[in-house]
Amino acid sequence: MFKLRKYFTVIFLPVLFLSFMMQDSASAATPKQTTATVNRPVLTKTSTASKGVSDEDFIGIWKYDDVSVYITIEKDKTWSATNVYRMKVDGGTYEIDGDKITLTFDSDGAKDSYTLNKSGKLVDVGGSELTKVDEMVLLPAPEDKLTQMTSFPDKFDSVDIYYPEHMLTSPRKDISHALNFYPEHGKGTVDYYSSIVVMFQPLTEEFDRDLKYGSAIGKKVMGYMLEDFIKLYYEKKLVKYIGSDFKDCGNYYSIKGYLWLDGTVFKQELDYPVRGVIELRYFGPAGYALASIAIATEKRVENYAQIAEKMLDSCTYKNDWTTSPKAVPPQPAKAKSSKKSSSKSSKKSSGKSSKNSGGSDPGDYGTAYYWTDSDGDVWYWNGYENQFISYGSDGYVDDDGSYYESNDAYEEPTYYYDDYDAYTEWNSSSYDDYDSDYGDYSDYSEDYYGGDDYGGYDYGYTDW
């Protein structure tokens, strides 16, 4: 145990010597002697022992210099240990004795001692040191505020996007209109293999042509967009495609795809697969879609996918566009049945089903159903607002209250299915058992994308 030593300093006062002066007096018969009285100097000794350690010296946040763990020592005689993934790994109570603090663990009652050395660091029994810090610097999480801002490169330099405090960013050199984001303190953690790319993906006019008919067709066309995007960037790296989620957000369409990717997708190649979540947002006929790609290990991909979604929400890119080709009525009409069973498509529109096949009173909040307006066009009242589904020529509401496509409507892509868990669907113990069947590209043009020719690339942020 390190012990504080007391230091003593001896201060010597200088000895002052005063001279005697003799003065002659011309008028005096006898010489007169004047003597100065001198007090004998005294040698003194003053103690300057160093200040002792107080309990306050231990209070605060301590970080291991060689391990990604923080120990927080509170004034109420409790302590807690937190890793950089924001998980509390242990905690308990403590006692202080001089320059030594002993932690008692709640988990098993074990005790661990630390000593405060003269450099102001805590040292555990194994010799590892902890440094006192002002705050815990943790890995990024969805609950973090987006306190930093950057602009996109190239022609989108007027568009800003916000991101968490403890992430770094740089423009992609291999992709136009793209930014790379990665954790500031990822080295030494599994987040070393985590990053987010946000980019503007160029589109051809076919997308603008086909995404103006409502969400029923919009879902299919966004599916083609996603499928083509995966083929463009990850065709040779794809292990398994899990599924997708589509949303009509009123002023844009969004679709997410969930993937397993070969570990060689990173420059720092891994010998096991990693996860990816792609989101594409279409804001109307502008020739581009806003895209994000979050890639991480299985346990961390949901964390970074949520951060990426939050970052996309912060992006200042907007367009004066609505997903509905008609003015959106504030209230729905009463649901009506349209008996067209003879021409019923064999495929029911997925993701939206009527909770009340007999319809509902107009504006009945919380009750979702399809309805048809006076023009024969189909809407979906989700319980709170209306969404345009399709023109009457593309689909209809049947007598069971469900929406069906017309026989000549778009063929639904084969990769759409909703019965999956986006983050835990596949966890094969045999990495050699690849499944690369993630869709049929025969139904769309390989030239559907226009603009920049990106080609393939190895995904991952720069080497540390």
- Contacts (Cβ under 8 Å, ≥6 apart) of 40: none
pLDDT of 407 reads 65
Least confident of 72-81, 90-99, 219-228, 262-271: 262-271
Above 80 in pLDDT, residue 397?
A: yes
pTM of the model: 0.69
H/E element, 82: strand 78-83
Domains in the chain with CATH codes: 55-133 (2.40.128.290), 148-323 (3.40.1000.10), 327-410 (no CATH)
Pairwise pLDDT comparison (113 vs 338), residue with the higher score: 113
Phi and psi angles of residue 207, each rounded to the nearest 5 degrees, phi first: -65, -45
Eight-state DSSP code of residue 68: S
d(CA 258, CA 243): 6
Alpha carbon dihedral 418, 422, 428, 432, in 10-degree steps, equals 90
Residue-wise pLDDT for 20-38, tens only, equals: 233 333 333 344 444 444 4
CA contacts within 13 A on the Cβ side of 452? 15
Least confident of 118-127, 340-349, 389-398, 403-412: 340-349
pLDDT of 8 reads 21
Q: Based on the number of CB atoms within 10 Å of its own CB, is 290 exposed (0-12), middle (13-18) or buried (19 or more)? A: buried
Mean pLDDT of 65-70: 89
Query: How much of the chain, in percent, has pLDDT values that exceed 90?
Result: 50
Pairwise pLDDT comparison (233 vs 32), residue with the higher score: 233
Residue-wise pLDDT for 141-199, tens only, equals: 999 999 999 999 989 999 999 999 999 999 998 899 999 999 998 888 889 989 999 99
Q: Which two tokens stand for residue 446?
A: 């390989």
d(CA 267, CA 462): 8
Dihedral sign from CA coordinates of 184, 188, 194, 200: positive
Residue-wise pLDDT for 406-437, tens only, equals: 865 445 444 333 344 555 443 333 333 333 33
pLDDT of 194 reads 93
Mean pLDDT of 380-401: 89
Pairwise pLDDT comparison (104 vs 463), residue with the higher score: 104
pLDDT of 188 reads 82
Pairwise pLDDT comparison (180 vs 348), residue with the higher score: 180
pLDDT of 59 reads 96
Pairwise pLDDT comparison (207 vs 40), residue with the higher score: 207
H/E element, 102: strand 100-105
Q: Which of the four pLDDT bands, split at 50, 70 and 90, describes residue 224?
A: very high
Q: Which of 90-104, 262-276, 330-344 has the highest mean pLDDT?
A: 90-104
pLDDT of 39 reads 53
pLDDT of 318 reads 86
Mean pLDDT of 120-126: 94
Dihedral sign from CA coordinates of 83, 88, 89, 93: positive
Mean pLDDT of the chain: 76
Above 60 in pLDDT, residue 389?
A: yes
User: Is-contact 227 415, C-beta < 8 A?
Assistant: yes
Above 80 in pLDDT, residue 5?
A: no
d(CA 124, CA 190): 26
Above 80 in pLDDT, residue 75?
A: yes
pLDDT of 365 reads 73
Residue-wise pLDDT for 301-338, tens only, equals: 999 999 999 999 999 998 889 999 889 888 887 755 44
